Amino acid sequence: MKAEAHVRQVKSPKEDDRLVRRGPSLDGLRDFPGAPPLDDLFAAVVRQARVFIGIADTNLRPVFLNAAGRKMVGLQPDDDISAIPIPDFFHPADQAVIRDVALPTLLREGRWEGEVRFRNFGGGAGTTVRWRAFTLYDEDGDLIGAATISTDISARKRAEARLRASETRLQAAIDLVDLSAYSWDPHTGTLDWDARLKALWGLPPDAPVDEQVWLSAIHPDDRPRVEAAVARCTDPTGDGVYHIKYRVIGIHDGVERWVSTHGRTSFEDGRPVSFVGVVVEITGQIRAEAALREGEHRLAATLAQLPIGVGLVNPDGSIALANRALGRYALDRIPSAETGSSERWRAYAPDGRRLNPAEYPGGRSLRGETVVPGIDFVFTDPSGTECWTRVSAAPFHNVDDAISGAIVVVQDVDREKRAEAALRVSEERFRRFAEHSANVLWLADLKSGRLDYLSPAFTQVWGMPAEDMPDIARWLASVHPEDRDGAARALERVSAGETLVLKYRIVRATDQAVRCIRDTFFPIPAIDGCVRSAGGIAQDVTGDTGLRAYVVAAGDGARRHLVGALQAADCEVQAFASGQAFLKVMGSLMPGCVVLDLTDADDLVVARELKPARSHLPVVAVGASGGDVGFGVHVMKAGAVDFLEKPWVPDELLFAVRTALAEIHDGEKRARGRDEARDRIAALTARERAVLEGLLAGGTNKTIARTLGLSPRTVEIHRARVMEALGARTLPEAVLIATAAGVSPAVPSGS
């Protein structure tokens, strides 16, 4: 009676009206000609209904349960339900909701609805239902009981669970290949991006995105292509496909990245209505092209666009789904589970031991292990061709966190592996070239200032061990003070990405000798485009001089006369008032001709001191012999390369100076020729050098092949490479280059 009083208290006039309105409707049914009694109709509906129908009295005690309801909870037709409290009809986990929420709400508001689980009195698993309960009133509006109509929704709940499992599998595949899904509304311009995609644009995860943000980060050179692609994919006359690769400059971090994006526009009535797509970062090389699809079709379309083989594997090792790229490997089952596949798939441990199939990535992933970046295999296709292939795999789990399969990625890395082998050969060539080159090859870390590499020629040119030059600061200290600022500025320019050639002088620490260096500076960009390292090729060009002369004359008039005559011929001149002044600085002077004015015999001390340095400081003496023929001979023996009698003629003086300087040029040219020849020879492989030595010994392709145990065709190929490396068109020319480099002919076998 408390419940009845409560219901009467909360009953609204609207409910009274509803009850009143219901009366005429029922009366009309009674008046329908030939209609069965109303009670019979209701009884038939309740009896034949396939849903749970139950009725309770005013105290909420069960008084009726139809046949479908009894079957749903596992009760027999003759089981007494009046002694079963309503909460006991439900799964123990849901009884508190029924007792504390549903029934109080039913009495207070007249209805309650929710998803709950029935128990099964016969011991079954129980049923998930949509439970709808409502109170019942008589024609006077008094509470007479309550009723429930419950619908079995177990099938729908199982379908939802399968959908969640499918979405989990899709997300696992997307995560494995680093894809970012996004959507775009062509009508409103709304963009939906995940955190990974925002990171590619240099944005934090919570940053808002719109079309302007998207466009602002696209590289200016690529923006016209991107806009044209968008126009094509939104054209109703086209196929709606959007597929393009372009560069993105991070909005906050400034990092340049390459991305590949693939998607499709949907159209209705000739208008673009939606767009979905995926983005993958392909910096350095294109790793993936993908398109997004819903459910399993969405996953299949995504995998089909990838340039690498991707497949979904069942727990028994069979391939459940594979993209086109995986088809080239003709797999029905992964090699771990395929009998007889060991000859087609071969992999080796670091110690050289061959792996057995149980150690392959697919089998390991089905045991719960993620194998990334993978294992390299030698794959043999049906035609017998071998190629290097990298296989990685990862497990995926269902909603219960159990392993329900694996994702396998198979990538052709044959070109990469062969490039690595070629790189090793190239590095070996570089090492040999650096060891034999007369030029100094150097590498520097601009950020730390560390010198990472100095070739062996450094010791010869700088006159000190490479370990004594650890960093850029020590290198700058070796540069001539007058050239030091220019060298520092050159480093700043190369750090900005500029390649330049700089000529500067160094002062050797061991003997204080001045050497002239021509250095080619070049930047070494990192993968992100930033220049953090630089390299260079430094060549000693001390002998590469133009008209340079040093005038040594005690008399002012004689000194001015000599300087004027030389400068009139565009000669670079430096004058000294005494021989002692000249001798003090001669060790730091660049190569040039010394013009020595002889006032008395003591001036010959300059010629005698310079005699050992005649190769780069030759002396031309001028003086008055007084008719003594032996005077000139004495001067030449003292170390002068020429002697001019006073009064001298300017043309004779210039001829003597040019002749002396020409000897310097010729000597340096011969030295450079030898260095270049040595550099070319150093770049040859051991086999190519052996062929060259055989050619120098007068051998033919057949005799050299017999000596080296090769075929004549192989020798012919090596010979062509030798000629190309030496830059020689004929064999005599190659012989001259090799002889200049000091290569000796091969000693014939049996000699």
Q: What distance in Å separates the CA atoms of residue 379 and residue 414, rounded to the nearest whole number?
A: 10
Give percent of the chain with pLDDT exceeding 90: 23
Residue 89 one-letter amino acid: F
What is the per-residue pLDDT for 8? 35
Question: Beta-carbon neighbour count of residue 348 at 10 Å?
Answer: 13
Is 168 exposed, middle or buried (CB count within 10 Å of its CB: 0-12, 13-18, 19+)?
Answer: middle
What is the per-residue pLDDT for 622? 92
Residue 476 vs residue 336, higher pLDDT: 476
Rounded mean pLDDT of 587-605? 79
Q: What distance in Å separates the CA atoms of residue 138 and residue 296, rounded to the nearest whole number?
A: 54
pLDDT, tens digit, for every residue of 670-709? 666 666 677 777 778 888 888 888 888 888 888 988 888 8
Confidence of residue 3 (pLDDT cuts 50, 70, 90): very low
Contact 351, 359 (CB under 8 A): no
What is the per-residue pLDDT for 545? 52
Rounded mean pLDDT of 518-532? 87
What is the per-residue pLDDT for 684? 83
The rounded radius of gyration (Å) of the Cα atoms in the chain is: 47
pLDDT-wise least confident of 260-264, 326-330, 367-371, 501-505: 326-330
What is the per-residue pLDDT for 17? 40
What is the per-residue pLDDT for 546? 63
- For residue 289, pLDDT beyond 80: no
DSSP codes joined into one string, 595-654: EEE-SSGGGHHHHHHHGGGTTTS-EEEEE--TT-HHHHHHHHHHTEEEEEESSP-HHHHH
Confidence of residue 290 (pLDDT cuts 50, 70, 90): very low
**Within a 13 Å sphere around the CA of 150, how many CA atoms are in the beta-carbon half?**
31
Residue 170 vs residue 574, higher pLDDT: 574
Q: What distance in Å separates the CA atoms of residue 419 and residue 415, rounded to the nearest whole number?
A: 6
pLDDT-wise least confident of 144-148, 290-294, 485-489: 290-294
Find, among 469, 440, 663, 434, the residue nearest to 540 by Cα: 440
Q: What distance in Å separates the CA atoms of residue 679 and residue 441, rounded to the nearest whole number?
A: 12
Give percent of the chain with pLDDT exceeding 70: 84
Rounded mean pLDDT of 278-303? 57
**Phi-psi category of residue 401: left, alpha or beta, with phi > 0 → left and psi -120 to 50 → alpha:** left
- For residue 319, pLDDT beyond 80: yes
Give the phi and the psi of residue 415 in degrees, each rounded to 5. -65, -40
What is the per-residue pLDDT for 19? 34
What is the per-residue pLDDT for 38? 66
* Segment holding 372, helix H or strand E: strand 371-380
Q: What is the dihedral of CA 524, 525, 531, 534, to 10 degrees?
A: 0
- For residue 540, pLDDT beyond 80: yes
Mean pLDDT (the chain) is: 81
Confidence of residue 669 (pLDDT cuts 50, 70, 90): low
Confidence of residue 288 (pLDDT cuts 50, 70, 90): very low
Both tokens of 47, joined, read: 């009896």
Rounded mean pLDDT of 145-173? 77
Both tokens of 286, joined, read: 């294109």
pLDDT, tens digit, for every residue of 216-227? 999 999 999 999
SS3 471: strand
pTM tops 0.75, yes or no: no
Confidence of residue 575 (pLDDT cuts 50, 70, 90): very high
Rounded mean pLDDT of 4-33? 40
Find, among 543, 532, 521, the residue nearest to 441 by Cα: 521
SS3 680: helix
Q: What distance in Å separates the CA atoms of residue 258 and residue 283, rounded to the nearest whole number?
A: 5
Reported residue count of the chain is 751
Residue 283 vs residue 253, higher pLDDT: 253
Find, among 624, 572, 587, 573, the residue nearest to 603 by Cα: 624
Q: Which pairing describes strands 127-137 and 241-249: parallel, antiparallel, or unpaired?
A: unpaired
pLDDT, tens digit, for every residue of 548-567? 899 999 889 999 999 999 99
Contact 44, 67 (CB under 8 A): no
Question: Beta-carbon neighbour count of residue 713 at 10 Å?
Answer: 10
Rounded mean pLDDT of 313-338? 82
Q: What distance in Å separates the CA atoms of residue 695 and residue 700, rounded to the nearest whole number?
A: 7
Is 274 exposed, middle or buried (CB count within 10 Å of its CB: 0-12, 13-18, 19+)?
Answer: middle
What is the per-residue pLDDT for 671? 62
Q: Which pairing describes strands 386-397 and 403-412: parallel, antiparallel, or unpaired?
A: antiparallel
Question: Beta-carbon neighbour count of residue 245 at 10 Å?
Answer: 16
What is the per-residue pLDDT for 27? 45
pLDDT, tens digit, for every residue of 358-382? 889 888 988 889 988 888 888 888 8
**Within a 13 Å sphere around the CA of 218, how many CA atoms are in the beta-carbon half?**
18
Q: What distance in Å separates the CA atoms of residue 589 and residue 610, rounded to the nearest whole number?
A: 12
DSSP codes joined into one string, 490-524: HHHHHHTT--EEEEEEEE-TTT--EEEEEEEEEEE
Residue 334 vs residue 287, higher pLDDT: 334
Those residues with Cβ within 8 angstroms of residue 548's Cβ, 6 or more apart along the chain or in another chain? 571, 572, 573, 590, 591, 592, 593, 661
pLDDT, tens digit, for every residue of 31-50? 445 556 767 777 777 878 88
pLDDT, tens digit, for every residue of 383-410? 888 888 899 999 988 777 888 888 888 8
pLDDT-wise least confident of 95-99, 312-316, 733-737: 733-737
Question: Beta-carbon neighbour count of residue 118 at 10 Å?
Answer: 23
Confidence of residue 188 (pLDDT cuts 50, 70, 90): confident
- For residue 570, pLDDT beyond 50: yes
What is the per-residue pLDDT for 284? 64
Q: What distance in Å separates the CA atoms of residue 358 and residue 336, rounded to the nearest whole number?
A: 6
Q: What distance in Å separates the CA atoms of residue 431 and residue 727, rounded to the nearest whole number?
A: 20
Q: What distance in Å separates the CA atoms of residue 632 and residue 629, rounded to the nearest whole number?
A: 6
> In this structure, what DSSP letter does residue 443 have?
E
SS3 22: helix
- For residue 419, pLDDT beyond 60: yes
* Segment holding 579, helix H or strand E: helix 579-585
Contacts 24+ apart (CB under 8 A), 259-268: 259/200, 260/286, 260/287, 260/288, 260/289, 262/289, 262/290, 262/291, 262/305, 263/184, 263/233, 263/291, 263/292, 264/233, 264/240, 264/291, 265/186, 265/233, 265/234, 265/240, 266/240, 267/236, 267/240
